[in-house]
A and B are shown apart, each in its own frame.
Chain A
């Protein structure tokens, strides 16, 4: 019953989306718009198919930068949030810096990363990490501070040490906040990697997009956009699945977070 309900709920957007594509295709056939300005969906589809292995290769490079950057952002955000929770002066000192750091546009930082670290994988990983770090760190700091003081009291009565209090009370309290941050970070991460690749790369969807654009292969540009969207969606779903695994006590995590 529940399955049918969720299928039915996803029907309207699917139908809407499909009608747009069909309408677009028909209009392109009728108006005969130049393909280098707005290619028909069929042209984009053909580009996706013929360049499939090439796209997969470039998507792989982008995904590597995304995964590396996310891993770096998650681990540093955790370390910093835990330290800030432990030593309040550190939190008071660093929290404003964190917020200000967000005001620096990533477009301004990316060229610096290139100058310092070249056109390899490292600058992309760093750019992704920079974009993802903020939502993760801020949400984690917020989550760790939401701990019920009565729960801590209870643990102290049981003579639990601070490691056990961290594991049994603080981290689980912070989990929903962490995953809220991670969902935002996951969507930012692909964007960060693409920006990094635009400025120079050997492989990646960003550089593929740039090359296609420079030679007016607009169909290929659109194809790479489709792949970027798919990549973001998959990433979002993976994070969602992880949040389910990590928080089995939440019947519906996404509902909880959207409250």
Chain B
């Protein structure tokens, strides 16, 4: 590989301490995301997937191992990355646009400019006309899109998404997947996507890492060579089933 990886995790180990108890969460996990690549981490619940993202974002310092972003060692240092935690974490006391504009305001952009910028993006995120709504007034899918808009407005080419659609009903979830692919096609950011859904991982990704149950370890790494742009028709193709078998087997072991 001749280009520098956007994100690289090298032999990450992490332990969770709770009083006297110690729980090994990750053991020697390595992975990388190339520029513009969509990579998923697939694993059962409790395999430390969220911990991987927290470590990648620099919110958590691993016991051992290193985190590289753009070839720079940033282990344990909070980085300006498009991090989206599991709950949407929209602040209930801010309207939708105020929530989305937070990263802009944090970087010192004026309120007026931030609003204009957000307003420009609203149609693309299916949120036109809802700028002044409070989060409790929005549907689950809208909240998720607003959170994603906020994540997109973080000035970084790297996005770390933690099961962003896990809380949505199946139909909304499928719509959101297609919509995310569209957005990703437009902006071509590097994405590290955490999920426990096999279909979701195959459908969205260029590459999938399977992580074992606790402590999380690398099981397999699988390239997904399905043509893009993708649509729901590929879900029933033989290629799709082929990948699905591989991933199911990897998860079962």
Contact = CB atoms under 8 A, between A and B. Distances in A.
A150 B106 contact: no
Interface string B86-119: 0101011110000000110111000000000000
Given A153-B59, A168-B102, A249-B136, A158 B154 contact: yes
Interface string B174-207: 0000000000000000000000000000000000
Interface stretch (B62-70, B73-81, B214-222): B73-81
A40 B87 CA distance: 62
Interface residues of A, number: 21
B91 A169 contact: yes
Contacts of B136: 249, 251
Contacts of B89: 148, 150-151, 154
Contact of B57 (A157, A164, A248): A157
A200 to B, nearest CB: 45
B91 A157 contact: no
B70 to A, nearest CB: 16
Contacts of B91: 151, 168-169, 172
A249 B96 CA distance: 11
A159 B80 contact: yes
Interface of B: 54, 57-59, 78-81, 83, 85, 87, 89, 91-94, 102-103, 105-107, 134-136, 154
Contact of A157 (B78, B93, B105): B78
9 contacts: A153-B85, A157-B78, A158-B106, A160-B102, A160-B106, A164-B105, A175-B93, A249-B94, A251-B136
B87 A249 contact: no
Q: Which 7 A-B pairs have the closest CB atoms?
A: A172-B93, A160-B106, A158-B106, A158-B103, A156-B78, A157-B83, A249-B93
A168 B135 CA distance: 15
A249 B136 CA distance: 8
B87 A157 contact: no
Given A154-B83, A157-B57, A160-B102, 17 more contacts: A150-B89, A153-B57, A153-B85, A154-B85, A154-B89, A156-B59, A157-B79, A157-B80, A158-B80, A159-B78, A160-B106, A168-B91, A172-B91, A172-B93, A247-B93, A249-B135, A251-B136
Interface string A155-175: 111111100100011001001
A163 to B, nearest CB: 11
B102 A157 contact: no
A249 B95 CA distance: 8
B250 to A, nearest CB: 30
A161 B78 CA distance: 13
A148 B134 CA distance: 19
A251 B133 CA distance: 13
Contacts of B78: 153, 156-157, 159
Given A156-B59, A159-B107, A249 B102 contact: no
Nearest to A251: B136
A148 B93 CA distance: 14
Contacts of A251: 136
Interface in A113-135: none
A155 B154 CA distance: 11
Contacts of A150: 85, 87, 89
A154 B82 CA distance: 10
* Residue picked from B79, B102, B154, most chain A C-beta under 10 Å: B102
B84 to A, nearest CB: 9
A157 B92 contact: no
A157 B94 contact: no
Nearest to A165: B106
B102 A158 contact: yes
A161 B107 CA distance: 9
